[in-house]
Chain A
């Protein structure tokens, strides 16, 4: 056009087309090519400007959403922001599906302007953590909606379902890329909210636990103090009263015994409360020698065990066990105490230990009357006793405490009647490899 009008107006003969001279033909050619090039370039610039605009819009959308999401503190907020932003950015309807505690996606409430979601596809998308539905290569490509998993660094947090107004708009690679980025941002926001909640719950639980612990410590002190005074004062009185007042002395001995028994009962109740702490027992584990623990348990029970022959068969080569010494000693004391309590004087009591593939098995056995048949395992329930009519004092907490302790260590406890007669209580403790010894000591020429 330009070339033609130039020729018409300015090249003589004026106001007529002429292509006579070589010069004018040359000019025509040059101008034609310049015009074509300029036109091409302009078109390309315009296209690039459009692309840049679109890119800017995407970046803005992304920025807007991430800013909003970063301020969100609750799951509901994240859902609302994400749906709104996706709808605005993609001219589409969007829906966020979140799983419950068992990783089942919750079907959304139907609302106006919301896509009709196929929960089965959404669940598949969530379980496989792969896109599904419209345009997705991984599955259900014929479905009208696009399902994208919300993949966060640690876990898939849900599924976003998108129904575009123009299905083709989602096929453009940059649109899909943008949608994936959105999904990731949403997932990270959900994960952040999730961990914020976990941290808050943990804080609450720790606070409760601390209060419980200080309550138990206070209770223990407050109950033991009067018990100490009671026992001590009774003994003082017994010393001060002349020995001739025999019936008074006997009463004092009885009072003292009752106070001691009450003390043990309080110990049991407090221990049970401690062992049932929220979040499990706090174990103070360390490498222990079973022989030592048995030795100190036996020493604590010198009095009750004095009428029973004691058979300790412990291999000196037993490996060290990683356990809480105070608690495992408690298990041994309770089992030995029971054996002494429920067997007639003269009946032998013993402890054996045995290393097996799945741990160290310790048995406390006796040659007493044995356990009521068929009810051996009930004994480990709280407030259960072998024979309720037995005249032996106790409330049935000892074995429940044993079980709580052993299970906290990852072991098991059971009771059985022995073939040779009498009862056997067997508990197991997991074995591990103790740390090596790194000391230079003279080698023992006569190892025992």
Chain B
């Protein structure tokens, strides 16, 4: 957190409920973030343009418009990460928001610990330098992206080309929710975005090869109805 104190990250909260803004601000300021607020989508876009926040926390249920449209608009000129807040009825808005370019979501009601964990994860992902060594290790697994090799507890694991593409797509975005559409497009191509049964089958293969208990995965987590998330720790 010390590094953050030197140049505090700015977080923009777009939320119409004052009480929620209040506690989110308190929680984030306690962690050393600089916080600014907007109570409507229009104001949010304005603030995002002028303050250039490092992270935007966006409530999907704002009365003055469609949060998904906000994200699309924002993505045209900014790559700042977006963390979406959603009430559970809007399950499918959430998927739309992620497909439009949001980075993660939190379901109301949420606690401070959950909020801070998500905020940290999103910021960490963006702060990390791209590229790196090309070697990724998680659990008992070690993966060499360049040499396309995977080992588990030191022993080589056979991975088919498609399994490797899927694995590489997941592990290069640790902590991020990848929607079914995003994964299918990336791994199989745009013609396959509706064939989610491919994903189920191949995720099953990956888990069986790389997870200690495939029925209770620790790394390749299912976000039901949304997509998958790779969790390195």
Contact = CB atoms under 8 A, between A and B. Distances in A.
A228 B200 contact: no
Contacts of B217: 295
B69 interface: no
Contacts of A229: 17, 19-20, 22-23
A441 B161 contact: yes
Contacts of A293: 222, 224
A103 interface: no
Interface in B147-173: 158, 160-163
Nearest to A330: B224
A335 to B, nearest CB: 15
A435 B195 contact: yes
Given A221-B89, A232-B24, A434 B222 contact: no
A439 B90 CA distance: 34
B51 interface: no
A298 B216 contact: yes
A296 B201 contact: no
B214 A316 contact: yes
A217 B222 contact: no
Contacts of B209: 448
Contacts of B214: 291, 316
Interface in B87-118: 87-92, 108-113, 115
Interface string A217-242: 10011001111111111011001100
Contacts of A109: none
A298 B221 CA distance: 11
Contacts of B201: 289, 320, 437
Nearest to A219: B89
Given A284-B225, A294-B215, A320 B17 contact: no
Interface of B: 17, 19-20, 22-24, 26-27, 30, 61, 85, 87-92, 108-113, 115, 158, 160-163, 188, 195-198, 200-201, 203-205, 208-209, 214-217, 221-225
A303 to B, nearest CB: 12
A441 B160 contact: yes
Contacts of B188: 439
A314 B30 CA distance: 45
Contact of B221 (A270, A299, A329): A299
A287 B19 contact: no
Given A291-B214, A293-B224, A325-B224, A232 B208 contact: no
A230 B200 CA distance: 38
A299 B208 CA distance: 18
A373 interface: no
Contacts of A71: none
Contacts of B225: 284, 325-326, 329
B196 A286 contact: yes
Nearest to B195: A435
Nearest to B209: A448
Interface stretch (A1-9, A259-267, A356-364, A392-400): A259-267
B90 A236 contact: no
B109 A292 contact: no
A383 to B, nearest CB: 22
A298 B224 CA distance: 12
Given A230-B109, A289-B204, 11 more contacts: A221-B89, A236-B23, A239-B30, A239-B112, A263-B109, A267-B88, A287-B197, A291-B214, A326-B225, A439-B188, A443-B160
Interface in A315-329: 316, 320, 325-326, 329
10 contacts: A221-B87, A228-B20, A229-B23, A232-B112, A235-B23, A240-B26, A295-B215, A295-B222, A320-B200, A437-B201
Interface of A: 216-217, 220-221, 224-233, 235-236, 239-240, 256, 259-260, 263, 267, 270, 274, 284, 286-289, 291-296, 298-299, 310, 312, 314, 316, 320, 325-326, 329, 434-435, 437, 439, 441-446, 448
B82 to A, nearest CB: 18
Contact of A291 (B24, B27, B158, B215): B215
Query: Which of B196, B203, B216, B217 is the most central at the interface, judged by chain A CB atoms within 10 Å of its CB?
Result: B216
Contact of B111 (A235, A434, A435): A235
Nearest to B20: A229
B87 A220 contact: yes
Given A217-B90, A220-B88, A288-B200, A228 B108 contact: yes
Nearest to B85: A228
Contacts of A284: 92, 225
Nearest to A318: B204
A236 B112 contact: yes
Contacts of B200: 287-289, 292, 320
B41 to A, nearest CB: 15
A299 B89 contact: no
Nearest to A260: B109
Contacts of A320: 197, 200-201
A326 B217 CA distance: 18
B128 to A, nearest CB: 25
A393 B222 CA distance: 29
A225 B198 CA distance: 37
